[in-house]
């Protein structure tokens, strides 16, 4: 399953990483120092091949896949945050790699569909003007 969302055209409405954590009720696993970083888009996929082929400037990767390639793929794509859904728990090795790559990692009990829906509803993927539409 692959869902993409790009927020903004000329203007960018940004969401802070800590907002994403709050909206998803997620648990932070690493990257405390980047909680104030901004993102304006996200993508959701369990296929890293699709992320490499289709993602443009999405800053957040939501996935149910857990392996080191999730972090490496995010890093290659200049993404700054990975959210593992369905309570998937990355190993210490994966967290160490994420720390090394400067990537924030969170874990959420939500399913991917719900996580995407909540972020979308909160405004990620929409222009600021129609945020409350």
Stretches 4-12, 23-31, 95-103, 107-115: which one binds another protein (CB under 8 A)?
Answer: 95-103
Of 50, 17, 20, 54, whose CA–CA distance to 36 is shortest? Answer: 17
Site string for another protein, 36-55 (x = CB under 8 A): ----------xxxxx-xx--
Cα separation of 112 and 115, whole Å? 5
34 binding another protein? (CB under 8 A): no
If DSSP codes are grouped into helix, strand and coil, which group holds residue 105? strand
Backbone angles phi, psi at 11, to 5 degrees: -105, 145
3 binding another protein? (CB under 8 A): no
CB of 38 to another protein, least distance (A): 16
| Structure-block tokens of residue 5 | 């969302």
For another protein, the binding residues (CB under 8 A) are 46-50, 52-53, 65, 67-70, 72-73, 75-78, 93, 97, 100-101
């Amino acid at each position: 399953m692959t869902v993409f969302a790009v927020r903004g055209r000329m203007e960018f409405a940004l969401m802070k990483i800590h907002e994403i954590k709050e909206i998803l009720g997620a648990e932070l696993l690493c990257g405390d120092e980047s909680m104030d970083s901004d993102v304006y888009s996200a993508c959701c996929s369990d296929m890293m091949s699709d992320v490499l082929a289709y993602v443009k400037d999405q800053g957040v990767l939501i996935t149910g896949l857990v392996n080191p390639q999730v972090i490496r793929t995010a890093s290659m794509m200049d993404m700054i945050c990975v959210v593992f859904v369905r309570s998937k728990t990355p190993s210490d090795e994966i967290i160490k790699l994420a720390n090394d790559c400067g990537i924030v990692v969170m874990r959420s009990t939500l399913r991917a569909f719900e996580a995407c829906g909540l972020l979308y509803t909160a405004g990620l993927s929409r222009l600021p003007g129609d945020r409350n539409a």
